[in-house]
Every structure is written in C-alpha cells, then in structure tokens.
A and B are shown apart, each in its own frame.
Chain A
Amino acid sequence: EIVLTQSPGTLSLSPGERATLSCRASQSVSSTYLAWYQQKPGQAPRLLIYAISSRATGIPDRFSGSGSGTDFTLTISRLEPEDFAVYYCQQYDTSLTFGGGTKVEIK
C-alpha cells in the first residue's frame, strides 16, 4: 500500500498569502496518478486537481499542483476567504489511498 503523508498538519495563514501544501508518498507514484481535494466542514470533498497538475472543472487558477515520484505540492497562490478548509491528496497508482489532510486556517 502507498502511504501518503501530508505536511504540515495545520497551516495558519492570512487571506492574500500563498499556501504551499506537501504530500509525500511512501513509494514512487507512477505516471500522473495523484489528485487533490478540498473539504469544508459538513460538506463532501471537492476535486481540485487530478493527474498531478490538471485543474478540475470550475476550479480557479490560483490552485495549482506539481511534483513527481514521491513528492507532490498543492499551491494556492493567494488565499481567498473561501479557501480556508482541509485539503487531502489521493493516489490511484496502487490501490487508492488518501493522505491524512492539511488544515488551512485563518491566522
């Protein structure tokens, strides 16, 4: 099983700042089989990024994904008030697993 470790656990930032979230895999994720989700309290997760760097339908371009192998990054270029939430990475190379999540909170 590929274990995904997300860091930091919590990121405290102000609106307008840049957020950089990390997702590290226990073994190499082949091809482009990694996605990112946003989840707000009481809501289902929402797909943000698939295939490492492709934005899902309707996702603003302030969200971007990058990385390869075992290290992946979700970047939010300028935080909007609605971006404060929990973010999960997911791999679909070997079985399907999710990371433990990073909470982006208002500083």
Chain B
Amino acid sequence: QLQLQESGPGLVKPSETLALTCTVSGGSISSSSYYWGWIRQPPGKGLEWIGSIYYTGSTYYNPSLKSRVSISIDTSTNHFSLKLSSVTAADAAVYYCARAAGSYYPHDFDYWGQGSLVTVSS
C-alpha cells in the first residue's frame, strides 16, 4: 500500500522559506505513470494546488505561486520536497503531498499524505 508522509517545521517566520519533504513508501517515486505534488489548505478554507513534479524533474507550478515555489525530487531516497520563499501569514495552511495520475501532465490525486500544519509567525 502506497503511503506518503510530510515532514518539516511546523512554524516558519514571516519572510523566511517554508521547506517540507514528502517521503513515499510502498512504491517507487520513479514510476513513469505518476506526478508527485503539493496541495495546501488554509484552516477552514478550500484546497489550492501548489505544484507537481515528474520523476525526471519536470515541474508544473500554480501561476499564482510560481515566483516563490520550488519543488525537487530525489529518486534515490524516494522523496520529494517543497520550498516556498518569502512566506506571509497567508501561507499558513495544512500542506499535503499527493500522487497524481499522468505521464505528460498531472491529473487527479489518488494518494495523499496526512497533511502537515504550517504556522507563519514571528
């Protein structure tokens, strides 16, 4: 059974960089059939796609976040990572990592991590 687990600091200071890692177990991150992505959800609000990465390193980002986002992948350790720079209070959210079907473009997300709550405060 595929499992995804987010890890990283739960508290980030304003203007600093948020960094999270997603560790994938029970399957290979190098599969040619899937993208790996990040989605966030502010408390009490809806879902926002941040970006997705293929095992080759090819990425797609949400245009509204593109200037601040970087997603990377490490196939040797089966994990992928998110960096979001210059954070503000608006970036406080539960951050989910997830697997998306697709070989040329990320589609629907069929496996999700449990989520990691990130607070932005000095």
Contacts and interface: CB of A to CB of B under 8 A. Distances in A.
Given A44-B115, A45-B47, A101-B46, A96 B62 contact: yes
Query: Across chains A and B, which 10 residue pairs bring their CB atoms closest together, nearest first?
Result: A35-B108, A44-B112, A50-B108, A96-B49, A98-B47, A92-B107, A47-B110, A100-B46, A101-B46, A44-B115
B33 interface: no
Contacts, number: 60
A90 interface: yes
B107 A50 contact: yes
A58 to B, nearest CB: 11
- Among B47, B60, B98, B114, which residue has the most Cβ atoms of chain A within 10 A? B47
B48 interface: yes
A68 interface: no
Given A1-B63, A44-B96, A44-B115, A88 B47 contact: yes
Q: Which of A44, A46, A51 has the most C-beta atoms of chain B within 10 angstroms of its own C-beta?
A: A44
A90 B63 contact: no
Contacts of B62: 95-96
A75 B102 CA distance: 26
Number of chain B interface residues as a range:
20 to 34
Contacts of A98: 46-49
- The A interface, classified by DSSP as helix, strand, loop or mixed, is loop
Contacts of A37: 47, 109
A92 B112 contact: no
24 contacts: A1-B63, A35-B108, A37-B47, A44-B112, A44-B114, A44-B115, A45-B47, A45-B96, A46-B112, A47-B109, A50-B101, A50-B107, A56-B110, A88-B47, A90-B49, A92-B100, A92-B105, A92-B106, A92-B108, A98-B46, A98-B47, A98-B48, A98-B49, A100-B46
B10 interface: no
A95 B115 CA distance: 22
Contact of B108 (A1, A90, A100, A101): A90
Contacts of B107: 33, 35, 50, 92
